[in-house]
Amino acid sequence: MVDLSTYCNAQCPQCHRTDQEDISKRAYWLPLVQWSLKTFQKRFPQLSLHSYRNMSLCGTWGDPMMNKDIFKIIEYILSHSNIILTVNTNGSMRDETFWWELGMLDYKYNHRLNVIFDIDGITQEQHATYRVGTELDKVLEHMQAYSETGARAKAFTIVFKHNEDDVKEIAKLAYSNGACRLYIQPSNRFDKNPDTFRYIQKNKIKNLHPSTKYTKFKEIILSEEIYNDEKNKMLFF
């Protein structure tokens, strides 16, 4: 796993980079840094890339798609290796043209790019309860643009009490906007208190609560079957 940036457009309450006493701020000890294409090439010379079968660009400290050279870095990886590359993103940044061109890059290099978009609700309010600072409509538009090229978009949902009853509808929303898979992950960041996670947003104390319906990771292949209520019972529980 490679972390390319500490920049992020979101303020997710349970993220490692977020200051829970004011989620509009990042943790005071975290500097804003990002890898340039040149830095990445120095760390991963062309010959070294052949040593890897898979690589993940995942935002532990920031969103990889906020990196200014992300398109060039992805193209460098795909063009000089046979790596299967996975990128996790909230998907709410940049524009549809960028995402369409990224999908075309996947097509050019034999579908070796997996982009996973975060979808945590069926409405803006529900989605932004956790994905603070992101826009659900933009995420869906970007995922649709990416998938229209034939690229395989995937979706990722962190489940809490506030969205656990709508996971099936989230799956339908993801599928209708181009996703072929949905990864369901109940939040596992209730270390201090197993029943609640406290944070401050706009000077107000708020709380997240863990899901009671989903207790382990699930992967669902999205197809027309998600509209079948009987099969839904097997897929989601």
183 located within any domain = yes
- According to the model, what pLDDT value does residue 52 have? 97
- According to the model, what pLDDT value does residue 231 have? 63
| DSSP bridge pairs for 174 | none
- According to the model, what pLDDT value does residue 83 have? 98
Give yes or no for residue 178 having a pLDDT over 70.
yes
Phi, psi of 118 (to 5 degrees): -85, 120
Give yes or no for residue 109 having a pLDDT over 90.
yes
Domain that includes residue 207, residue range: 37-236
At 183, which CATH number? 3.20.20.70
**Helix, strand, or coil here: 110?**
coil
**What one-character DSSP code corresponds to residue 83?**
-
Q: With cut-offs at 50, 70 and 90, classify the pLDDT of residue 82.
A: very high
- According to the model, what pLDDT value does residue 233 have? 62
Q: Residue 62 to residues 7, 15, 24, 46, 74: CA-CA distances in angstroms?
A: 5, 9, 14, 25, 17
pTM over 0.85: yes
58 located within any domain = yes
- According to the model, what pLDDT value does residue 235 have? 67
> Could you read off the pLDDT of 3-19 as tens digits, one per residue?
999 999 999 999 999 99
Average pLDDT over the chain, rounded to an integer: 96
Say how many domains are in the chain: 1
105 located within any domain = yes
Give yes or no for residue 227 having a pLDDT over 90.
no
27 located within any domain = no
Give yes or no for residue 93 having a pLDDT over 90.
yes
Helices (H), the chain: 37-43, 46-49, 70-79, 96-108, 124-130, 136-147, 167-176, 229-236
- According to the model, what pLDDT value does residue 135 have? 98
- According to the model, what pLDDT value does residue 228 have? 79
225 located within any domain = yes
125 located within any domain = yes
119 located within any domain = yes
How far is 58 from 156, CA to CA, in rounded Å?
13
120 located within any domain = yes
Helices 70-79, 96-108: axis angle to 10 degrees equals: 10
Instruction: Give percent of the chain above pLDDT 90.
Output: 93
